[in-house]
Each structure stands twice: as structure tokens, then as C-alpha cells.
Structure 1
Amino acid sequence: MDFTIRPIAATEHEPLGELTVQAYLGEGFLDHGEQDPYLPRLRDVGGRAAVADVLVAVEGDGRGDRLLGGVTYVPEPGPMSDLARDGEAEIRMLVVAPEARRRGVGEALARACLDRARSAGRSAVVLCSQPRMRAAHRVYERLGFRRDPERDWSPDDKLDLLLAAYRLEL
């Protein structure tokens, strides 16, 4: 692995927020483009970091690290969780820079979350994903996540979007 996974630095909040927004916009994951109501939440890495663990993938020597991707690890049910129940952790907003794809960055970020969950004695890790995020689904399935359709949900009744739930028993 030619990159490092570590907790985010405060100076990286804004760059990761922009990377996340651009990835979602660029891949067509926001139905309302620049006006999508989810956009501010994607951009607010500082808000996420205040209530959950935000991890980044970087390459470099520690002085001028280049951001390759990031993920929010939610250790238990709380303000950042959508699906987590007692004993479960959750993965949110995993993103990889376009130029860093196919290097194992997304899988390494997800594995770092799984390691944290195992260390904390969690019984499972859950996540939800848009049906069109097929590349992410391949990564999750390769790691052992299985669909949990009973937990599929929609963030807004006005949107025609059903998020697909995944679960990995630890």
C-alpha cells in the first residue's frame, strides 16, 4: 500500500468536504445538483468529526500529504448514524478521489472502519448506499457485507430514492 490511513487533521476538513461534494456531483449521486439538500451535510466534515471518527487516506511524507479519500466511522448509534442499532457501528460517506481509484483506497478505508469496530467489540457494521453506487457495492461485498433489504430506507418521502442497506456480522 503506497498510502496511509489515519485520523483527519483539522486542516483537511475543507478539502475532504470539497472532495466529497465533487465526487457525489461528478458521479451524478445528487439528484438536484448544486441545489441538492444533502450537499451541506457532505461538505460539513468538521460537523462529522465532532461526533464521529473521520479517517483519510493520504500519500506523502507527513508534511505535504495528498488527500486520496475519506470515510466517516460512526462507532455507535447517535447523531451521525442512519442505520446503526445497539452494538453496531456504521460507515458513512466513503469517498475516493477520481485519480486515486482502483488503487485499493476505498477498500482500505472500509477495512480501517471494520478494524475499529472489531476493536470496540461491535457485533456488526452497517451502511447504506444508493443503488447506483455499484463500484462501492463491489467493494462492500468483497469485504463480506450482505444486503439487508429489511433496513432499506428513504431519507425524504419527497425524493424518489431508496437507500440500500448492507450489514457485515463481526
Structure 2
Amino acid sequence: MTGVRVRVAEPAEYPAVARLTIAAYEADGQLKGGNGYETVLADVATRAATGEVLVAVDEADDVLLGTVTFLLPGTPFAEVCGPGEAEFRMLAVDPAAQGRGVGVALVEACVTRARELGSSAVVICVRAGMAAPAQRLYRRTGFVRLPERDWSPLPDVDLLALRLPLNP
């Protein structure tokens, strides 16, 4: 995508990644109820130690626009991926950068990484009732519902599983 580049986050960027992620989740209404998820979102170093924290930056000035965490089965933050699958979580786009294709670039980077690793599919969970733009993004990129993997980590937090099969 022109104007947006996705790369691995550098440790010096972790505080900015944490702030952006929390701001995006707050803007989306996903942090209501005070369940402590902000602490998980802010702990970028732990996610980076067990997965790959990717960032989308503006090609012109390297300004941080968005982030996502890419995971493999058996890693601490992986929730629904099974053997041979990859997963991504905590996709967040700076509210000021929404509508620029940042989310698509991050999803595409995760799909590319999964293919590089020989994964058979990419899976994700989205919160039930999640904002329509996010749902459209996943539908547009080919993800389909996987209701048998839906789950609820907390009362009133229902997560819907989605899967994108990857062709060999």
C-alpha cells in the first residue's frame, strides 16, 4: 500500500505502540468495564518476546499509524490458533489515521508472514458487536466465521472466531 510501510516494532517504540493501542481500543469502546485489559495492551515487551509486534508507519516520515501482534500456536498470547495456523491479535489503528488503509496493510502483513512460515490459515477473534469498519475489513480480506471456536474470556466479553484459509 502506498504511503504505509509495515515492519517489526523496535524496542524504543514500545511505549508509543502501547499508547496507540490503548487509544485505539478506547476510541472503539472496547475498554469499558475496567477489566484490566489496558495493562495487557500496554505490555508490548512481553508480546514482542513471544510473538512479533508489527507496526505500520507513514513512509514519508516514519510516524506510527498502527500495530498488530502476530502469533503462532502454543505461544502465551495465542487464543484460538491450532497446529499449522497463525493468529494475530491487538490490531489497532491510530484514530487519526483510520480510513488510510492502515488496517488492511497490517492484516496483509500478517497473512504474508503466515504464508512465509507455511501456515495453513490465519485466525483471529473479534469482540461481538465490534465496530462495523473492522468487521468489513475482515470480510473484505476473506475471513469467515468459525463459530465452533467462539469463546468468552470474561463475563460480557464474547469473542467471535474468524479464519482465513491460505492456499498452499
Normalising TM by the smaller chain, what interval?
A: over 0.9
- Is the Cα–Cα contact under 8 Å of residues 66 and 103 in structure 2 kept in the other structure? yes
- Decide which structure has greater strand share: 2
Corresponding letter in the other structure for 2:139: E
Match of 2:118 among 116, 121, 124: 121
Match of 1:96 among 93, 106, 113: 93
Residue 141 of structure 2 corresponds to 143
Corresponding letter in the other structure for 1:50: A
Structure 1 pair 163/18, CA: closer, same or farther in 2 (3 Å)?
A: same
**Structure 2 residue runs without a partner (length 5+):** none
Quote the Cα distance in structure 1 between the aligned partners of 2:59 and 2:85.
33
Once the two structures are TM-superposed, the CA of residue 77 in structure 1 deviates from its matched residue by 2.9
Quote the Cα distance in structure 2 between the aligned partners of 1:97 and 1:132.
20
- Is the Cα–Cα contact under 8 Å of residues 27 and 95 in structure 2 kept in the other structure? no
Across the two proteins, how many residue pairs are aligned to each other? 164
Residue 169 of structure 1 corresponds to 165
| Partner-residue secondary structure (3-state), 2:25 | helix
Quote the Cα distance in structure 1 between the aligned partners of 2:140 and 2:123.
15
Residue 27 of structure 2 corresponds to 26
Give the alignment's TM-score, normalised by structure 1. Answer: 0.92
- Residue deviations 1:23-78 (CA, integer Å, cap 9, x gap): 1112211222xx332110011111100100011011155xx621000000003332
Quote the Cα distance in structure 1 between the aligned partners of 2:103 and 2:158.
23
Structure 1 pair 123/160, CA: closer, same or farther in 2 (3 Å)?
A: same
Identity %, equivalent residues: 46
Corresponding letter in the other structure for 1:107: V
| Partner-residue secondary structure (3-state), 2:57 | strand
**Structure 1 residue runs without a partner (length 5+):** none
- Is the Cα–Cα contact under 8 Å of residues 90 and 125 in structure 1 kept in the other structure? yes
Quote the Cα distance in structure 2 between the aligned partners of 1:132 and 1:69.
21
Residue 105 of structure 1 corresponds to 102
| Partner-residue secondary structure (3-state), 2:21 | helix
When the two chains are superposed, the root-mean-square deviation of aligned CA atoms in Å is: 1.2
Alignment of 1:74-85 (within 5 A): 74-85=71-82
- Is the Cα–Cα contact under 8 Å of residues 77 and 88 in structure 1 kept in the other structure? no
Q: Which runs of 4+ in 1 moved over 4 A?
A: none
- Is the Cα–Cα contact under 8 Å of residues 77 and 89 in structure 1 kept in the other structure? no
